Amino acid sequence: MQRDYQPDLNGSDEIYGQEELIERAKGADALLVTVTDIINRDVIARLPGSIRMIATFSVGYDQIDAAAALERKIAVSNTPGVLTNATADIAILLLLGAARGAGNGEHAIRQNTWQNWAPTGFLGRDVTGKRLGILGMGRIGQALAKRARGFDMEIHYHNRRRLPAQEEAGAHYHDNLKSLLPNCDFLSVHAASTPQTRGIINSETLQELPPGAIFVNTARGDLVNDDALITALQSGHVGAAGLDVFNNEPDLDPRYRTLPNTFLLPHLGSATLETRNAMGFCALDNLDAFFAGKPPPNPVTP
């Protein structure tokens, strides 16, 4: 980037507010942003006329009002594909960590409160042979299914469209969420954040899960109604949750920290050196193509 562009870099990784984003955009031709940069309709309306592209360092682009960008003829691109494996790996980590109470075990070691081995100590739940429901069977959902088959899990999924048989690989398709949920000993969410999916995990949908089901989220925090999930965890209807994303992160609902049946990570889905490098180069590929007069490889807007 420094070789090919004249970048104004955010060296401290501070989160810019709207006013600073608009101010820093002056004189620039493009913005390279990430999930913490909220580019809503108001910000887009106030961006200087020099801005012709917004490239986001993420696969999700719900922080950008793409429709408003299109109205101003500002191109938007994202970085899909390159973070698939890393995020699916984290989903497996959350699934195992929540099922086996790994957070409680590590806490006992670190706090030196582990007194002795006991037949009923730190009891968790088996993963092998259980039913895994996947909400959103895109790249990451399919990569998770591939990994879960190594644990002989029975795969069920709900998606906007049914996959071809070869991609489905024996998974059971449900054409609606209500049909999927009763078949989930584990439920892992991989849907995009849209007006249709925000809050889709709520008291009604959670009630459809079998008692003691385990919930995993590596997608977006706003797909979940926190009050509903916390209530279900407190009652035991949801046996445990493995969460990598949260509403209002990093200011997540503090009640999650107090629940013994949660396994929590700080949005690590794509956090490997290899993946973050690949995301950065993907974002640059989009910028390079656009300014060369070619279609970006990963367009969000036409």
Q: Is 249 marked active-site?
A: yes
Per DSSP, the residues of 133-173 read EEE--SHHHHHHHHHHGGGTPEEEEE-SSPPPHHHHTTPEE
Q: Which of 41, 168, 249, 255 is labelled catalytic?
A: 249
Catalytic residue among 139, 156, 174, 220: 220
Contacts of 114 (CB under 8 A, 6+ apart): 108
Catalytic residue among 125, 172, 198, 267: 267
> Which residue type, as a one-letter code, is found at position 285?
D
Distances (CA, A) of 201 to 46, 103, 141, 278: 34, 23, 17, 31
Note if 19 is an active site residue: no
Contact 22, 2 (CB under 8 A): no
DSSP string, 52-84: -EEEESSS--TTB-HHHHHHTT-EEE---STTH
Mapped onto helix, strand or coil, the DSSP state of residue 114 is coil
- Tell me the two tokens of residue 36: 């913490």
| Residue 266 DSSP label | S
Q: Which residues are registered as beta bridge partners of 51?
A: none
CB 45 within 8 A of CB 266: no
Residue 146, phi-psi category: left (phi > 0), alpha (psi -120 to 50), beta (remainder): alpha
| 139 CB neighbour count, 10 Å cutoff | 18
CA-based end-to-end distance of the chain: 25
Structure tokens at 195: 């007006």
How many angstroms separate the CA atoms of 185 and 67, rounded?
A: 38
Read off the DSSP letter of residue 300: S
For residue 19, give the H/E element and its range: helix 18-24
Residues assigned a catalytic role: 220, 249, 267
